Each structure stands twice: as C-alpha cells, then as structure tokens.
Amino acid sequence: MTGARRGSFREAGARRRLLGLLDPGSFSELLGPAERVTSPHLAALDLPVAFDDGVVVGAGRLDGRPVLAASQEGRFLGGAVGEVHGAKLTGLLRRARAERPAAVLLLLDTGGVRLQEANAGIVAVSEVMRAVLDARAEGIPVLALVGGAWGCFGGMGIVARCCDAVVMSEEARLGISGPDVIESTRGVEELDASDRAMVWRTWGGKHRVLLGEADRLVEDSPGAFREAAIGLLGRGRPISLAALEAEQAWLARRLEQLGGVADAAEAWRAAGVAEPEALPLLEPAAWGAAVAGARRERP
Amino acid sequence: MSVDELLTALFPAGHAVRREGGLLIGTGRAAGGEVAVLGLCDGVDVGVELALRLAREVLAVVRDHPARPILTLVDSQGQRMSKRDEILGLNGYLGHLAACVELARRSGHRILALVHGQAASGSFLALGMMADEIHAVDGAVLSVMNLPAMSKVTKIPLARLEALSRGSPVLAPGLENYVRLGCVASVWRAPLAAELERALARAPQPDRRDAGPQGAPGGPGASRSRAPDAPVPSAA
C-alpha cells in the first residue's frame, strides 16, 4: 500500500483523498485551480473565493478502469454547494454519459446548499440530483463515498441516496437535517446537539449501514474507501419499476419495524441486535459480525 | 386561493382529488384525458411517511396508467425536521421519491409541477424540482432562507443584502427570482385550466436547465447564464 492510501481520509483535503483513492498517477483534474473558475456570488458579497469553488473534479483510474471523480473540500465553506461548485458536479455527470466510464465517484463532504448563494445553491443541488439519476438511468454507476468531517447533509444527503451505493466510515455522518439545524428550529427539547454520542448514533456510519441507507462501513483511510469502491464497481442498481417497488417495500418495512423508536440504539435493538450499547465501541469487522442478522440491506 | 378553488380552476371539467391532511391525491379531467394529481398543501412538512406515500402513488401511476401525465402540486415548507425522521433516514425516503419521479419520466410520463403556496428545501428538491417543468401561481413563495436569517448566518449587514438583492436573483426569496434563475418556467394566471392545457400540449423538451446560454450541454460552469433572456448577473 502506498503512503497516499494510509492515514486518515477524514483529515485529508479533497485532492489528497482523490489521490489516495485512485490508481497512482492516474488523476487528471478538469477545471483546476489554475483556471480560476470562482464564485461570482461570493465575490459580490466581498467574501473569499476558492480557485476551485470547493470541489475537485476530474478523470482517473480505479483498479485499472476509467472513472470520473469529484471530491468536495469541506474546509471551504463546509463543502457547501454554490452555483459553480454544483455546475462542476453536474458537468462531470453529463460528461460521464458521453464518456461512459466504469463509474462516477462522488467524495461528498458537505453541509448542503451554500447559504450565501441561497437560490442558486438549491437550483444547483437539484441539477446535481437530476444529473445523478440521468447517469444511472443510462447505465453509469454513481457511487457516494462519505468520509469527511462535515459528513453529508441537506440536499446533498438526498443526492447521496440518489446514487447506486453509499460507502461510509464510522466517523462520517449522513442525513438531511443536521443536529444544529434541528435544535435551532425545534428547540433543545427535540434534540440536544451537544450530545455527541447521540449525534453519532443517529447520523453515524454504523447506524446508516445497519439501516441499509449505506452499503459498506469502512475504516477511515483512503485505502479502505478504495477497496470498497472497487468492490462496488459493476454493482449498479437499475432504475426500474421492479427495483423501485422492491425499495418501496423495503422502506415501508423499516417504518413498520422501527417507526416507534425514539433513539437509534432502540432501533438497533428492535432490528435484532442483542447488545446495542456495545456497538459504538466495536471496530468495523467486529461490528459487522455483531449486526450480521440485523442489517437490512437495500434491495 | 383555497385548494378547492385551485383544483376547480385547474380542472373545470371535474376532478377526483382528495385531501388527506397535507397530501393531495387523485385525478383531474383535462382535454386530453385524465391527469394524475399528487401533491402537498397547507405548507405541510414532509417526513418519512409522507415521502413514502408520495413515492407509492408515483409508482402506482407508472404501473397502472402508462403515459398518464402527472401534475404535482407543491405547498410545503420543506422536509420535516425531527430526530425521529433522521433516525429513520428521511434523506433516503426523499431520494427514493426522486428516483420514482425519474422512473416516471423515463417511462414516458409528462411531469409538471405547480407551486401554489410555499416551496423550499427537501420536499421541493425531491418532488417539485424533479418535474420536467416547474410553474407557479402568482403569489407563490419560493425560498431557501429569508434575508434577516441570511444576515445572521453570513454576518453581512441586512441593508447590504437587500441592496444586492435588487440586482441579483440569487439571494432573496421570491417567485420572480426563481423565474430569472430558470428554475420556474412560467407564472400561471387565470384561467389556470388554459395554462395547464398549454403545458400538457407542449412536447417534453430536453432538460436544458443546466445548459449554457446557447442551449449547449453544460460543461462545468456553463450554468452561470441559464437562458439568453435571463442572465444571472455575474457580479453586483
């Protein structure tokens, strides 16, 4: 394993994550920082811009197969999607329909819509959503890899689940309304965002994989994300009536079985985990064994 | 305009749309035949149950009524924000709903969205914005965040945001801004039935909402001007 594959995926920047994930020397960036494609809306607000608008897009190889890939930079405005940022993602997904790579990899690290570009941000997220579904409908697998410090929230949490599959580290978080948003909207009685253990139980990788909302739980390293992504190549989910009816039934069963729970740990017990309180401490391999009978994999 | 008045105005020949809380489900009679109606009213927030119910109805139309046009009516403040909805994976339910709408489009259904109240965040993304075309009645309110809240978040004085909003459609809530951004195709005015018939009669167009000014498939960055007649100011 090369050095780029080791270390923390979470702590790495957007480019380093990509370099650790793809075959060595294979990545070539499109619209890189030298092109200075920046946000006109941030500039209008006299806010700092980034020369890549917070997302790296390009082409590379994964296990020898051509892929297109995007990586969001959580350190720039929380990876939030502005108009240029979103257009880079949408453009990459459209390019995939012409080039037909083995997959499009989306390394998501984002709070969702960039509030400083409010309306343009939500329109951009909707374009990304339709572009993901368009690519999938034309047979290009799209994989979401969620392992950054921001997790994946807001409209981009929906985008992740528009993909064929989702890979998460246990430290990553995935949802739509984050803890701070819920507490500030509904009050601390609804949710105490300072309760870190509860936040982790609710949005963390282990809970998402147990539900089936994510497909693979991996260690926090580029190498582990790489292995999971390679394993998912060619395992797309068709957008067909039969497939979506199966998913409909699967989601309905979750509400029947888990609809009454008030905490994620209750959901783990209700799903059949014998000792739910032990789950947070287990390494992914041991965790996998402990939840083997309780996981509800997405059809 | 009440929901009953809206439905009567859209379908003067009659409709069988029923209300279940904030959900609207049924069919309306248009010149070319039945239109499937599914939608939201009263500004309802969409949680896991409602998202799943909407998806079920979309799949039922695809399965049982090939090629029947679908009209989604949007009046929703967004996704339901609760601990329970997050525990159950609301983003997954909304992603599934969006995929069902995509399936309907790919199966040959014409899909129109009409915003008749509020439209915002998760429910707008998963339902309204997935349509072929989005229209709105006059007075509809489309938003991400109001300017006072944005001022708090961005620490930019409110007066400055208000001044910038006079030249840019990006910041402030408002129907006209979403028209200028190319998100809302048109504002429907009375008689609404005529607007609906015109939209149904139009052949579905390729999705050009993310295209550049010449209508060319958008390379990255191309969406900064969405239509020749409605450029987004690149800087104030």
B210 touches chain A (CB under 8 A): yes
Number of C-beta neighbours around residue B203 at 10 A: 5
> What is the pLDDT confidence band of residue A234, given thresholds at 50, 70 and 90?
confident
Evaluate if residue B215 carries a pLDDT over 60.
no
Of B81, B173, B233, the CB nearest to A182: B81
- Cross-chain Cβ contact B125/A117 below 8 Å: no
Pair A202, A264: CB distance under 8 Å: yes
Q: What is the ipTM of this complex?
A: 0.98
Mean pLDDT across chain A = 96
Question: For A241-258, how does the pLDDT look when each residue is reduced to its tens digit (9 = 90+)?
Answer: 999 999 999 999 999 999
Side-by-side strand order, sheet with A142-146: A28-30, A55-62, A65-72, A103-108, A142-146, A165-169, A216-218
Question: For A87-121, how does the pLDDT look when each residue is reduced to its tens digit (9 = 90+)?
Answer: 999 999 999 999 999 999 999 999 999 999 999 99
Helix (H) or strand (E) run with residue B193 in it: helix B192-201
Token output for A209 = 């994989």
Residue A2: the pLDDT is 60
Residue B220 burial by Cβ neighbours in a 10 Å radius (0-12, 13-18, 19+): buried
Q: Which amino acid is at A172?
A: A
Contacts of B96 in chain A (CB under 8 A): 161, 244, 247-248, 251
Pair A147, A172: CB distance under 8 Å: yes
Question: For B151-195, how does the pLDDT look when each residue is reduced to its tens digit (9 = 90+)?
Answer: 987 889 999 999 999 989 999 999 999 999 999 999 999 999 999
Question: For B76-120, how does the pLDDT look when each residue is reduced to its tens digit (9 = 90+)?
Answer: 999 999 999 999 999 999 999 999 999 999 999 999 999 999 999
Side-by-side strand order, sheet with B186-188: B15-20, B23-30, B33-40, B70-74, B111-115, B133-137, B186-188
Closest-CA distance, A104 to chain B, in angstroms, reads 15
Residue B225: the pLDDT is 36
Question: Among A50-64, A221-235, A275-289, whose mean pLDDT is lowest?
Answer: A275-289
Residue B142: the pLDDT is 95
Interface probe for B, chosen from A161, A181, A192, A208 (most Cβ of B below 10 Å), is A161
Contacts of A154 in chain B (CB under 8 A): 121-122
Q: CA–CA separation, B54 vs B97, rounded Å?
A: 7
Question: For A127-185, how does the pLDDT look when each residue is reduced to its tens digit (9 = 90+)?
Answer: 999 999 999 999 999 999 999 999 999 999 999 999 999 999 999 999 999 999 999 88
Evaluate if residue A215 carries a pLDDT over 70.
yes
Closest-CA distance, A2 to chain B, in angstroms, reads 32
Evaluate if residue B224 carries a pLDDT over 90.
no
Residue A33: the pLDDT is 94
What percent of chain B is predicted at pLDDT more than 70?
88
Evaluate if residue B211 carries a pLDDT over 70.
no
Question: For B226-235, how does the pLDDT look when each residue is reduced to its tens digit (9 = 90+)?
Answer: 333 333 333 3
DSSP string, chain A: --GGGSS-TTTS-HHHHHHHHSPTT--EEES-GGG----HHHHHTT----TTTTEEEEEEEETTEEEEEEEE-TTTGGG-B-HHHHHHHHHHHHHHHHH--SEEEEEE-B-SB-GGGHHHHHHHHHHHHHHHHHHHHTT--EEEEE-STT-B-THHHHHHHHSSEEEEETT-BB-SS-HHHHHHHH-TTT--TT-HHHHHHHHBHHHHHHHTSSSEEE-SSHHHHHHHHHHHTT-----SHHHHHHHHHHHHHHHHHHTT-SSHHHHHHHTT-S-GGGGGGS-HHHHHHHTTTT-----
Contacts of A239 in chain B (CB under 8 A): 99, 102-103, 106
B49 touches chain A (CB under 8 A): yes
Token output for B226 = 């969405």
Number of A/B CB contacts below 8 angstroms equals 243
